Amino acid sequence: MKTLLFEIGMEEIPAGYIRPALDFLGKSVAARLKEARIDAGEVTTYGTPRRLTVMVRDVAPGQKAETTEVTGPPESVGYAADGTAKMPAIKFAEKLGITIEAVGIKETKKGRYLCASITKEVKVSGDVLATILPDLMHRIPFPKAMRWADFSTTFARPVQNIVAMLGETVIPFEFCEVQSGNKSFGHRFMAPGPVVIEDPAAYLETLETVSVIADFETRRAMVKDAVIRAAIDAGGCLLPDEELFDTVTNLIEYPVVVAGTFDEAFLEVPDEVLITSMREHQKYFAVVDETGKLKNAFLVVNNTRVRDISLVRRGHEKVLRARLADAKFFFDQDLKESLDTWIDRLNRVLFQAKLGTVHEKVDRVKGLSGLLAEAAGVSSDAAKNTVRAAELCKADLVSHMVVEFTKLQGVMGRVYAERSGEEPAVAAAIEEHYKPLYSGGELPQTEEGALLAMADKLDTLCGCFAAGLIPTGGADPYALRRQAIGIAQIMVKRGFAFPLIPVLEKGVAAYAQRIDVNVAETVAAIVEFFKGRIDHLLFEEGYPKDVVASVTTVGINVIPDIWMRVKALAELKEHADFEAVAAAFKRVVNIIKKADLSKGIEVDEALFEHGSEKELMVAFTATQADVERAVKDGEYAHALSAVAGLRPFVDGFFNDVMVMADDAKVRANRLAILSGIAALFADIADFSKLSA
């Protein structure tokens, strides 16, 4: 068994290209080796801005032998009575590349058939890899690729070298006139020459001698440790930023941290502005004091050791001074106006071509905010603050600061609202209404922020569905899946147990003047979309799929109730007698679904023909009020437990009587009993969806 080393060396590629490319290479190499019948062990990937590397340990020296039996036409078709081969037998042999003498006969259940054993060609691993590796280079999915020289082949950046080795043996192939070999290269500035890889197992150690830390996790740990120590040396502590750590790690091959400072006058600008300016434009880390307040210090991770670190520091400080001066100018300009003066300018900002301007969206969100506040039963002050926040929530989109730093939308709205003397709850809601910013992100912390976030997301959902802008497959340009998940998570967290459908109807109807829309059909489509997202959330929380399906199929109108119903049903499913309970009530549901049951039929005890009918009716009557009260109070576990208590009586009923009796009145009477029982859990779960 030998180690495969495959390194693609090139000009620096963007940091965001590295991880996806390595994921593709790692999975693809493993899959292609398996497909080629070559046994292999652990697959590891390494990468820097100038190299993409895959290492596979314990690669077999050659392909596994594989013999397969191929069945042909019947013997009577392939051979004449005297045993002479006919054309079908000859063609069968030619297709498999064998002589007619090598064709055998196989006894099967259907009779005697022609057959042959075919052993696939066995090649050494090096020869197979010489075909696989260059093919994978052509297939790496870069966001953007380029051509160079007069080659028609594209790659993220020009390829400079290729290391392809199986053990100590080079795997020979060519890509854009670059011949594979065993030579990598060192750090561009600190060790720019070639370096021979004597043994793939020593790849990392060999590169380290030429100032290249090829392993991402090792390099990231070095960056993090050095930055944290530098922050302490600067008299503060590092402002955590895991995403920036990942980005910076993929911008360098060897970390060298430099600390710098900026003029304290810039601290008059909000921390968020300074941090964003440093982070987005320069990839600098921020330093804060023990209270979390920003200090006039920054940290930058360089890629090269230098003799005069002070010269490098001054260079970074000069660049940052210009960036922060721009930020301060934009901030000062914005403070000359109020949020209210920006609202009218939103008429010139397009939300979506079919859905109108942002100003029109704000008007709709205001209406939905008031509706949601009333439905949620919040205080009059909270309702007033929510509507005011809705009025101002998009105003900062036309500010100088957000035009320059789009990621500060909402944040600057909150800052400017605070500076304008708005209520703290209004300012907080303006920032929070964009949350969650990503799947699993932080939810709004204030009541007003939660209501406004829901209103904004509901308006987007209603508008996009009304305009036919519905997600398909992997395409979701308006992030509607995230919006729906965010609404569900907010409602569950805040306990907003009000019906969602009436709000959706209002939201869709608000677009009626702009779009020709069928409100009922559009709302139904949105509800089905919500159901898919809610199912996904519940699956991720570990609830069984059949339990989730049985609950959400019944309805999702009151979203917090879904979680309570699923939890109650999942707990019931853990009981030892659950299978018998589920079977009994599945039968009830299935009979009711199939029967043509007229509504309004009352049970007539005079039509009872067996004692089990009366026993079931008495038990049902005694249970009904208890279940209805429990459902009303959201005590679904108690309700399901009470319903489960009817199971012996249901079993006795099915054992003793024929539900679909010949007598129409008796049949209808028995169906009415079952209908009443089904109604007990009809709003909780559909037992017919449950598996054993």
Q: 73-103: per-residue pLDDT in tens?
A: 999 898 998 888 999 999 999 888 888 888 8
Q: What pLDDT sits at residue 594? A: 78
In three-state secondary structure terms, 47 is strand
Which helix (H) or strand (E) is 20 found in, with range? helix 15-35
- Let me know whether 614 and 577 are in one domain: yes
Query: pLDDT tens digits for 625-653?
Result: 999 999 988 899 999 999 889 999 999 99
Domain end call among 301, 335, 369: 335
Residue 550 falls within a domain, yes or no?
A: no
Q: Are residues 17 and 133 in the same domain?
A: yes
What integer pLDDT is reported at residue 529 of this predicted model?
A: 96
Q: With beta carbons less than 8 A apart as the criterion, state whether 614 and 649 touch.
A: no
As a three-state string, the secondary structure of 172-197 is: CCEECCEEEECEEECCCCCCCCEEEC
Same domain for 47 and 114, yes or no, is no
In a domain, 554, yes or no: no
Q: For residue 602, name the pLDDT band (cuts at 50, 70, 90).
A: confident
Rounded alpha-carbon distances, angstroms, from residue 162 to 20, 209, 352, 574, 619: 19, 19, 47, 57, 79
Q: Can you point out the beta strands (E) in 304-414?
A: 350-352, 356-357
Tell me, yes or no, whether 504 and 584 share the same domain: no
pTM exceeding 0.85: no
Query: Per-residue confidence at 589, pLDDT binned at 50, 70, 90?
Result: confident
Q: Does 557 fall in a domain?
A: no
Same-domain pairing of 527 and 629: no
Domain annotation covers residue 35: yes
* Same domain for 166 and 221: no
SS3 content of the chain, % helix, strand, coil (to 5): 55, 15, 30
Residue 657: give its domain's CATH number. 1.10.730.10
| Residue partners of 532: CB distance under 8 A and separation at least 6 | none
Mean pLDDT across 597-608? 78
Domain boundary, last residue among 179, 208, 237: 208
* 609 and 644 co-located in one domain: yes
Distances, alpha carbon 31 to alpha carbons 28, 41, 43, 133, 456, in Å = 5, 12, 11, 12, 44
pLDDT in tens, 6-55: 999 999 999 999 999 999 999 999 999 999 999 999 999 999 999 999 99
3-state SS, 483-528, equals HHHHHHHHHHHHCCCCCCHHHHHHHHHCCCCCCCCCHHHHHHHHHH
Answer yes or no: do 28 and 164 share one domain. yes
What percent of the chain has a predicted confidence (pLDDT) above 90? Answer: 75
Taking the CA atoms of residue 260, residue 261, residue 262 and residue 265 in that order, the dihedral angle to the nearest 10 degrees is 170
658: in domain = yes
> Do both 377 and 509 map to the same domain?
yes
Mean pLDDT of 131-160: 94
- pLDDT (0 to 100) of residue 600: 62
Q: Residue 599: which pLDDT band, with cuts at 50, 70 and 90? A: low
Q: Tell me, what amino acid is at 64?
A: K
Same domain (yes/no): 138, 221: no
Asked if residue 504 has pLDDT above 80, the reply is yes
Residues 525 and 445 in one domain: yes
Range of the domain at 448: 353-397+411-541
pLDDT, averaged across the chain: 93
In a domain, residue 348? The reply is: no
Domain boundary among 208, 224, 239: 208
Tokens encoding 45: 């990937």
Q: Residue 263: which pLDDT band, with cuts at 50, 70 and 90?
A: very high
Give the pLDDT band of residue 597 (cuts 50, 70, 90): low
Pair 487, 456 in one domain: yes
Give the pLDDT of residue 692: 60
Give me the amino acid identity at 537.
Answer: L
**8 Å CB contact between 401 and 412:** yes
What integer pLDDT is reported at residue 327 of this predicted model? 93
Residues pairing with 108 in the sheet: 111
Encode pLDDT of 95-114 as tens digits.
888 888 888 999 888 889 99
Percent of the chain with pLDDT strictly greater than 70: 99
Q: What is the pLDDT confidence band of residue 585, given thresholds at 50, 70 and 90?
A: confident
* Residue 91 token pair: 């063609």
Query: Which residue is listed with tokens 């299935």?
Result: 590
Is it the case that residue 595 has pLDDT exceeding 80?
A: no
- Is residue 364 in some structural domain? yes
**Six-digit token pair at 312?**
């490098």
Q: What is the largest CA-CA distance in the chain?
A: 106
Domain count, the chain: 5
Can you tell me the mean pLDDT for 167-171?
A: 94
Is 403 a domain residue?
Answer: no
Would you put residue 634 in left (φ > 0), alpha (ψ -120 to 50) or beta? left
